[in-house]
Amino acid sequence: MNVRVQNLRKYFETSAGVLKVIDNANLTVEKGDFIAIMGSSGCGKSTLLFLLGCIDVPTFGSIYLDNVEVTEADESTREKIRLYNIGFVFQNYNLLPTLTVLENIILPMQLGDTFKGQREARALALLRVVGLEDKRDDKPTNLSGGQQQRIAIARALANKPGLLLADEPTGNLDAKTSRELMQVLRSINETQEVTLVMVTHDPKSASVANRIFYLENGQLRGTLV
């Protein structure tokens, strides 16, 4: 999926006045690219991802996903885009503790269009992609942070999204586990035909991407890695 952001603004009304978190940001990401967005805490990285992920709407400006303007689409269209076209990975994994690893990965498929008889096989294939086939029947709480994040990545890919958004995916992991997780994201980007937009404040994690952008004063500035 390709992503185009044009003159994007997101303002919040606060007791202290208007907070211009995203203030005329522009960005183009080609299909299959892997970009990292860096910036200090509170600069608006999560806000930007929520806008890209059709979770929140901008104050002004446009977001095109595969050349379709999504910010003005109605809520049921945006819901479908979230379900079928976008995978989300969070810093805190957000796995459901009462479900097994396999059930966590199957869950989004129950809302999507994978036939019932194919869901388990697809979940197992995704577990192979993240290297955790042997954990299929474990509960997430029995796994390490790095393993839980791999499961969260597998779940995010359940409905074959064209765009994977990752918000500080290594934020809770040590340096070695972060390196391993970034290799998983790298290989997914190379083998699963998915465009990857990752937000991080860790330069080592960011360096695995093809390009790094900096979010500062509400605007994006790009560099080559």
Ligand X SMILES: Nc1ncnc2c1ncn2[C@@H]1O[C@H](COP(=O)(O)OP(=O)(O)O)[C@@H](O)[C@H]1O
Contacting residues toward ligand X, per CB under 6 A:
12, 14, 19, 21, 39, 41-47
The entry of ligand X, Mg ion, none that residue 14 binds, CB within 5 to 8 Å by partner kind:
ligand X
Quick one: what does residue 59 bind among ligand X, Mg ion, none, with the CB cut-off 5 to 8 Å set by partner type? none
192 binds Mg ion (CB under 5 A): no
Using CB under 5 A, which of the segments 43-51, 73-81, 136-144, 215-223 binds Mg ion? 43-51
- The radius of gyration of the chain's CA atoms, rounded to the nearest angstrom, is 17
Q: Site mask, Mg ion, residues 10-39, x = CB under 5 A?
A: ------------------------------
Amino acid occupying residue 18: V
3-class secondary structure, 209 = coil
46 scored as a contact of Mg ion (CB under 5 A): yes
Instruction: Considering the complex, state which of residue 58 and residue 162 has its C-beta at the smaller distance from Mg ion.
Output: 58
Question: Which residues in 16-47 are b (16+ Cβ under 10 Å) and which e?
Answer: eeeeebbbebebebeebbbbbbbbeeebbbbb
What beta strand segments (E) does the chain contain? 3-14, 17-29, 34-38, 60-65, 68-69, 86-89, 163-167, 195-199, 211-216, 219-224
Q: How far apart are CB 193 and ligand X at their closest, in Å?
A: 28
Q: Which backbone phi and psi does 112 adopt, to 5 degrees?
A: -95, -155
Binding partner of residue 15 among ligand X, Mg ion, none, CB under 5 to 8 Å per kind?
A: none
The region, left, alpha or beta by phi > 0 then psi within -120 to 50, assigned to residue 39 is left
Instruction: Enumerate residues 70-109 that contact Mg ion by CB under 5 A.
Output: none
Q: Rounded to whole angstroms, how far apart are CA atoms 82 and 103?
A: 20
| Residue with Cβ nearer ligand X (50 or 64) | 50
Q: Which residue has the tokens 């009462």?
A: 98
42 vs 117, beta carbon nearer ligand X: 42
23/103 with CB nearer ligand X: 23
Q: Using the 8-state DSSP alphabet, how is residue 73 labeled?
A: S
**DSSP per-residue codes, 124-175:** HHHHHHTT-GGGTTS-GGGS-HHHHHHHHHHHHTTT--SEEEEESTTTTS-H
Binding piece for Mg ion, criterion CB under 5 A, among 5-13, 26-34, 41-49, 206-214? 41-49
Closest separation in Å from C-beta 126 to Mg ion = 26
- Which residue, 46 or 219, has its beta carbon nearer to Mg ion? 46
DSSP class of 120: H
Residue 11 or residue 84: which is nearer to ligand X going by CB? 11
Q: Does 2 bind Mg ion (CB under 5 A)?
A: no
Binding residues for Mg ion, rule: CB under 5 A, are: 45-46
